[in-house]
Amino acid sequence: MVKTTDAWSNAWTIRPLTSHSGYIYALAIDPCNTHIVYAGGEYYDRSGNWHVALFRSSDGGSEWHDISSGIDDQSRPVYALAVSQNVPNTIYAGTSAGIYKSTGGGSSWNNINCGFDTVSSLCVDSSSPETIYAGTPEGVYRSGDGGLNWKAMDPGFSLFQVSVLAADPVLASRVYAGTRGEGLFTHSTVGLEYTESPTFPQNGAILDQNSPNPFSKFCTIGYFLPVCSHISLRIYDVAGGLVRELVDQSVEAGRHAVTWDGRDESRRPVPSTVYFYRLQGAGFTMTKKMLLIR
């Protein structure tokens, strides 16, 4: 890990966590004591065996201690860490095998059996220490009882690979979710909000915004493929249910367009609301939002 105490000077101090080589994917700081820092990831020993990495420093990163007791090496790596705002000894670690929880400042860990696997991001509600959000490749999950029970958040999140989460430290119950190539979402007690952010092409593929948008009868969805690929283009409702499959076949490289008539798989007109369309192929998945107004 590297640390600076003067961001303007570009002076960084390197602090080794272990004598082995590895990767750090997650950092978290105790909100009540900024000298306490947690670092998570994975490392491999001299025999080439991989191990889960979870370390704690109580002096601002000068000395580190292994606190991975209770986390199986098969659960590696630790992708995410979150410290409870009001109960700092309660820590959550997101891994490839779900979520581990410690109520003793990392002295021991237990898998809370959340019911889903890879957890790429975690955050704790600033006003409710028992409310935790978990980002996964299949969307966002929420627990209101410290991780005992979990529920997939709606609507639309189930379509997206969530790579990062953040809870607003001032405005209670507002959470931000960054997704892989599909934009930025915010969620609050008043419902779901969607904010378009720059979408970077994945492997050269491009998904256009439908036109027109909003639309009432027909819309055109354009996309570009850098190479010949087997792709699918599907329409989903806000709950993540499949509405219509427009394409499921090999498509030549180049620019293409397909028309949707606002009907479902049974050719019945669907109601006015927000829909999502997803282009998926080998190595890429892109999703955008559209609005149908009858």
CATH number of 2-195: 2.130.10.10
pLDDT in tens, 76-105: 999 999 998 777 799 999 999 999 999 999
Residues shown for the chain: 294
Angle formed at CA 281 by CA 98 and CA 278, multiple of 5 degrees: 75
pLDDT (0 to 100) of residue 205: 86
pLDDT at 126 over 50: yes
- 193 within 8 A of 185, measured Cβ to Cβ: yes
pLDDT (0 to 100) of residue 178: 86
Name the CATH topology of 206-292: Immunoglobulin-like (2.60.40)
- Kindly report which listed range (23-27, 75-79, 171-175, 263-267) carries the lowest average pLDDT score: 171-175
Mean pLDDT of 114-139: 87
pLDDT-based confidence at residue 3 (cuts at 50, 70, 90):
confident
pLDDT (0 to 100) of residue 194: 42
Residues whose CB falls within 8 Å of the CB of residue 282, separated by 6 or more in sequence, listed in order: 229, 230
Residue ranges per structural domain of the chain? 2-195, 206-292
pLDDT in tens, 200-223: 455 678 888 898 988 988 999 999
The CB density around residue 10, as the number of other CB atoms within 10 Å, is 7
- Kindly report which listed range (28-37, 38-47, 116-125, 170-179) carries the lowest average pLDDT score: 170-179
Q: Is the pTM of this model over 0.75?
A: no
pLDDT-based confidence at residue 72 (cuts at 50, 70, 90):
very high
pLDDT (0 to 100) of residue 175: 84
